């Protein structure tokens, strides 16, 4: 990744295409950080303000199309076959997918909007789950368009306005969001297990 950053900084005219291309590859669940792409593009935009719109559009469109690839190809097309491949099975566990799917059922679009602000593989898990669950394609595309626009605009503006000074703050914020999300999912899972055991206990109780 350092080689890539050196390349885009030394060849600014190609930077938008490089960001766009890498983000498309991220749609296939390759370990490419959307957060790093947003940060890098914003830092380049600070030094090249005339390219600000072009750089933002490259990361926004790259991120959005990456989501659609993840949803359509990884989720709907490959589906459960994908988890026979150890590489993908390790990145997105079956248990995590089941948990996230329950949040889709309960909270719908809000899950996408909040989920886009949570790093550490949660985003792609959300998109794959939507595909596996056969979420309506138009609904996903429109919902994710809104979610992607909100998150990309916010982070690009943040990095462009304050530069590297906010990196530590963003990292801490991401960690807090991830911890809250993990706690919420774990709490829901425990609650569900308790409810299932109680339900089973009532069924086994003789009349």
pLDDT at 35: 86
pLDDT at residue 162, as a whole number = 85
Q: What pLDDT was estimated at residue 153?
A: 94
Say how far apart CA 24 and CA 37 lie, in whole Å.
Answer: 12
pLDDT of 62 = 96
The pLDDT value recorded for residue 42 is: 92
Q: With contact defined as beta carbons under 8 Å apart, do 80 and 132 qualify?
A: yes
Give the number of residues written for the chain. 207
pTM of the model: 0.74
Give 83's contacts (C-beta < 8 A, 6+ positions apart): 89, 92, 94
User: Which of 110, 123, 146 has the alpha carbon at shortest distance from 35?
Assistant: 123
Q: Residue with structure tokens 């593989």? A: 121
Instruction: Please write down the HEC assignment for all residues of 18-72.
Output: HHHHHHHHHCCCCCCCHHHHHHHHHHHHHHCHHHHHHHHHHHHHHHHHHHHHHHH
Predicted pLDDT of residue 49: 92
Q: What is the pLDDT along the chain (207 residues), one digit of tens a residue?
A: 567 777 787 888 999 999 999 999 988 888 888 888 998 999 999 999 999 999 999 999 999 999 999 899 888 888 777 666 666 666 556 666 666 666 677 776 777 777 787 765 677 778 887 888 778 889 889 989 998 999 899 999 988 988 887 676 665 655 555 565 555 555 655 656 676 666 666 555 555
pLDDT at residue number 6: 76
Q: What was the pLDDT predicted at 88?
A: 60
> Which token pair is 67?
């989501």
């Amino acid at each position: 990744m350092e080689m890539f950053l050196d390349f885009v900084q030394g060849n600014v005219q190609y930077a938008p295409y490089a960001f766009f291309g890498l983000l498309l590859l991220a749609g296939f669940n390759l370990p490419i950080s959307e957060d790093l792409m947003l940060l890098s593009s914003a830092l380049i935009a600070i030094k090249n303000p005339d390219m600000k719109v072009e750089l933002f559009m490259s990361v926004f469109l790259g991120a959005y199309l990456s989501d659609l690839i993840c949803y359509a190809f990884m989720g709907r097309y490959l589906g459960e076959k994908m988890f026979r491949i150890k590489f993908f099975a390790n990145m997105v566990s079956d248990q995590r997918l089941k948990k996230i799917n329950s949040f889709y059922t309960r909270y719908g679009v809000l899950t996408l909007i909040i989920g886009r602000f949570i790093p550490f593989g949660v985003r792609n898990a959300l998109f794959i789950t939507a595909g596996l669950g056969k979420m309506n394609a138009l609904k996903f595309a429109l919902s994710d368009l809104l979610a992607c626009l909100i998150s990309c605009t916010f982070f690009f503006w943040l990095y462009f306005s304050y530069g590297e000074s906010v990196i530590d703050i963003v990292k801490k914020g991401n960690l807090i969001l991830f911890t809250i999300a993990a706690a919420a999912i774990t709490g829901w899972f425990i609650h569900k297990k308790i409810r299932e055991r109680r339900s089973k206990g009532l069924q086994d109780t003789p009349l």
